Amino acid sequence: MATRLDTRITSALGPASGADVFAALLAKARPLVMGVLNVTPDSFSDGGRFLDPQAAIAQARRLVGEGADLLDIGAESTRPYGGAVSVPLDEELARLAPVLPGVITLGIPVSIDTLKARVAAWALDQGAAIVNDVWGLQRDPEMARVVAAHGAAVIIMHNRERADPAIDIVADVSAFFERSLAIAVRAGIARERIALDPGIGFGKTIEHNLQLLRRLDEIVAIGCRVLIGTSRKSFLGTIAGRDVEQRLGGTIATNVLALARGASVFRVHDVAPVADALAVAAATLAGRWPPTTTT
């Protein structure tokens, strides 16, 4: 099936302007919850649960019902703590093809979590609005051009091949973002279409994750919206002594703290409880209800 898919990198504008979608979302001036949909056999917390297309679309519907503002769909596990198996292009497309169009009909913006520009181009042609690149436009040399050509938004995530406990991780992330932003500008991607994500768990020690959360305001100061993804990650389990399915408490704590330091978008598997926590935290930080103009 995948071989018949049209995976050309088109220079035409995609069906939806990611810039408009992203701007409209951000204009809501409240924390945005991104629901995770993994159409994979091996994702670290839910691998195999949504590989079946019907199960995947049902999960997407559930996430929307729980209050997700946008959905992030991925068909290749990036396994933040190592051991990811790379998925060939045809296989990644074959996993997405029976799922993505149905997810797009749910009516909220969809982000495609992929390392491959050809997968991103195909998903944007289907109506996805955002590309989530866990190598921040620095892996596939075509990625920035695809994002720009489709008028899409992009999540630039920091990544490293391996953790180096000796480095200042905030400086490393900032330098990485500088390179990614230069690539984005050269390709013609406007700054309003970019969200930065420090990539919690990717090539980082536990302390690095904690430092990035504690000093998140330094990333926010770069001037783009900041997305954070701590959901169910292993450092939460290590600290609290919890297995992967018991990390909601740690997920909520870290998302609320990230909100307090200026993060805008929160990538999570458990949408309803995190959305509740963020709504209450945002009102508390604002000291009023509704919390109106603050982000």
Q: What residues numbered 260-279 form the site for ligand HH2, per CB under 6 A? A: 267
CB of 204 to ligand HH2, least distance (A): 11
Which window, 9-17, 20-28, 34-42, 241-249, contacts ligand HH2 (CB under 6 A)?
34-42
Q: Is 162 considered catalytic here?
A: no
Q: At what angle do helices 117-126 and 89-96 cross, to 10 degrees?
A: 20
Contacting residue, 197, 212, 216, 271, with ligand HH2 by CB under 6 A = 197
Contact flag: residue 134 with ligand HH2 (CB under 6 A):
yes
Q: At what angle do helices 169-187 and 206-214 cross, to 10 degrees?
A: 70
Q: Which residue's CB comes closest to ligand HH2?
A: 229
For ligand HH2, the closer CB: 224 or 291: 224
Q: How far is CA 33 from CA 72, 79, 165, 188, 274, in A?
A: 10, 21, 31, 27, 8
Contact 180, 189 (CB under 8 A): no
CB of 252 to ligand HH2, least distance (A): 16
> DSSP string spanning 200-260?
TTSS--HHHHHHHHHTHHHHHTTSSEEEE--TT-HHHHHHHT--GGG-HHHHHHHHHHHHH
Contacting residue, 78, 126, 209, 254, with ligand HH2 by CB under 6 A = 78
Which window, 1-9, 16-24, 197-205, 249-257, contacts ligand HH2 (CB under 6 A)?
197-205
Which of 95, 204, 233, 247 does the annotation list as catalytic? 233
Query: What is the rounded distance in angstroms from the CA atom of residue 124 to the CA atom of residue 130?
Result: 8
Q: Is 204 considered catalytic here?
A: no
Catalytic positions, written as ranges: 233, 267
The residue ranges that bind ligand HH2 (CB under 6 A) are: 36, 38, 40, 43-45, 74, 77-80, 113, 132, 134, 155, 157, 197, 199-200, 227, 229, 267
